[in-house]
Amino acid sequence: MSRVIAIANQKGGVGKTTTALNLGSALIERGRSVLLVDLDQQGSLTISAGLDPEVLSETIYTVLSSYADPKVKQPTQLATVITPIESLRLDLIPANIELAALDLELTRAYSREHILQRALEPVRNNYDYVLIDCPPSLGLLVINALTAADEIIVPLQTDYLATKGVKLLMDTVEAVTAQLNPELQIAGILLTQADQRTSHSRQIVELTRSTFAGQVHVFETLVKLSVRLKEAPITGQSILAYDPTGEATAAYRQLAQEVDHAA
């Protein structure tokens, strides 16, 4: 049974794309099949996988806009834009700046919150995991991701201001669960960019674990601040390939184990 996991947080720069790419790679290492979905107009996941978004003629936008257009009787199938990334041994549905127009198109579409779910349906069971890299917002694209997903992982930077936005995201998840996707579960909060040298970061880690204890799972995995994590996308590699014995690699292997064991 495949698992569709949205990686979401309305705040930018918390490690969503990094988590999608490296969790996906760590799951591949565990023998799972993985499809990554880039749902961000910036195309950061697409770039991190070694592709140039600007030269792509067909992307996730091609598919979702065809589903959103009531005049199109045969929407473009998601399978036609799946791109194998040989260096990562996984598949990717890429994105580029065209995706910026989709929110407006979705507002006029029938059953607009379910479009990604409908598009994913024919291919999702070809994979053990579908990981959706969400944009830093709570717009219709994110609502589509949460409606299509079985679970959500929330990367959370270990910074006080970053923690303040989590309640808004949780409220959105609660609304989606109540109205659109009653099966949606929060897989957990993933603490990222932790600088264990500072007392502030250590306090946020402790505060997050105590605040959500008994309410929302907080992964044991702690992704520390890492220059290597920032360097790896430039090479088109995951952190597992770029720095096989590093701390960040160990962290994403641990996260993959936590996620996989929850199946």
The token pair at 75 is 């929407």
80: containing domain: 3-261
Strand 3-7 versus strand 218-224 pairing type: unpaired
- Beta-sheet strand order (sheet of 185-194): 83-85, 90-93, 34-38, 129-133, 3-7, 151-157, 185-194, 218-224
CA–CA separation, 129 and 109 (whole Å): 28
* Tens digits of residue pLDDT in 10-47: 888 889 999 999 999 999 999 999 999 999 999 999 99
Give the mean pLDDT of 66-91.
Answer: 93
CB 5 within 8 A of CB 129: yes
pLDDT of amino acid 163: 66
- Average per-residue pLDDT for the chain: 91
Our count of domains for the chain comes to: 1
Q: Which residues pair with 186 in a beta bridge?
A: 152
pLDDT of amino acid 206: 81
Residue keyed to tokens 């996906």: 24
* Tens digits of residue pLDDT in 101-146: 998 888 888 889 999 999 999 999 999 999 999 999 888 999 999 9
Q: Tell me, what CATH number does 21's domain have? A: 3.40.50.300
pLDDT of amino acid 72: 87
